[in-house]
Chain A
């Protein structure tokens, strides 16, 4: 196959994908649109986590906390009707960027394992913290918000509209990260991941870029959290337990670190594998879920994205 054909095949694939993604909400019943909206939400969150773990080599076991922050910021604003709902996306993103930046500064000094443990305890601390400020957050009862309806001119149902919102946010996020990785910042991050010392010697401002990676990463998690709040219409401390953070990291590693398609696979994994597990064994779905994680890691130590690349290479 010539280079030209490859390029053509890529374009064709992209068009098919775009067409499928655009047509899907008109084909599926509301339930599946809801499910796919959440896949997109998790994919965006994982995209952010990937920036941190996959590209800058910092492990976070507390990314659910940023996800929760974005969701809560959105829910609180919508519950009190402070701003129209599209604005909440911006607020959640900016807020999480700022908090992420603040976290990024001390995080710099913590290496692999230690950063993982500190972020894990942040995720654990989140729940009692949310309950403490009950007048704002609704306490342990949480907040129920009215899900945004489609504008009348679109003629869309609510589930379709929310799906398109999630899709739009996902597309923009993927485009942003792609551009980011191709820019100076991305090259610097990759250099840091490959060899920190060499990168520093070559004049990469290590501290600055790592902190920035943390902030971008938190921002994407926060944006995903905002869309999550629109789609689910309810937030409570029990929605964002430590389990969420760990599941996100597992989803990313299973999907594939350091690639653009990894977060998409991860989104599907996080969303569908738990429900598949209980179809297999209703008495103890955890047994199947745990086994599946282990088996996927055996078959694809570099994640599903890596497995696909490997399979493609075998076929050549």
Chain B
């Protein structure tokens, strides 16, 4: 870290010379037509990471007037994904990648250290390796206070994605999709899993989270496979079939690459009532605090979204070589920008009835929060209204208060989901909590225009 401190001191006068991106407000980089500035590569990457302090008794995130938030479960270990089931059970994926990436350059351990701070280190206790498991919360009466909490499946390998189809529970470990026989209502699974397919893991496994969703008819699985680097600095060989969404036939284990050029796609979700797959994507780092905006997009089969050679269509990234003008020409821009470095990891469409009508069909996005930006961005759950299946207007902060305004993070949102009562669930991996937001009425509670 000393090197970084020295670097910061040395770079301070240079930074004072003025950053061409400095005057951009994140709101200019939201929506369908974001402002995309020229790359600004300083001497050192613009870095800012809050200390994780956790939630004190009585502290909760903030929600708009008319809504109520409370913890559904605390004391979890790095909860990242929540999957509510129709019977009121909620499956919570607790896991994280263990081990460190191989060191190619002196920079690698420094960046890994910063990024590990950004992840809050939740669960990295002195009691040994963090749990890698699915916890089941049973809330039969739907009051948000679980009557039962059990470990459904344990000893996974950095799990993230989860899906239930009929009597099959699919779990996306970082290196494979597993299928467990699962009868809803069951509170523990003793059976060994069947492996559906290997996913790209390996020694580097830079973006390790494998998001998972089943098609509406349950016949296909879709897995997000993030890139193995920021912008192919581990070489093109490390990126085989990565930065992509895979389509997998769970019966045969056959797969095809469904869409590519998606640097780190998470929150895979079908738009309700359609066969249109949506995802939120973490775009590239180290091109400045306001480049490149993360985004939410519908995913067109066979489409290429630019990574690593370009972003937002034909904005060429000068870094990866050899350049590929043929691929840049193919790149399509995403649907909706979320602003830079927010680290969107969760996406859920509002399918419930208990929130006001304006929320129906809109998107909740869990933004884990920035590290490649000295001024924090993200660190909240936003709501984006939809009309006719397309996002409209600007994002509105829906769950905030994860930062305390003094450079500390109480928690950080990841996965979001809507439970059978229409409440919004938020997995908070740094706060080790699952939050539940309900509508109590009375307030104005209208989504952003």
Do A and B make up one complex? no
Residues of chain B having any CB pair with chain A under 8 Å: none
Residues of chain A having any CB pair with chain B under 8 Å: none
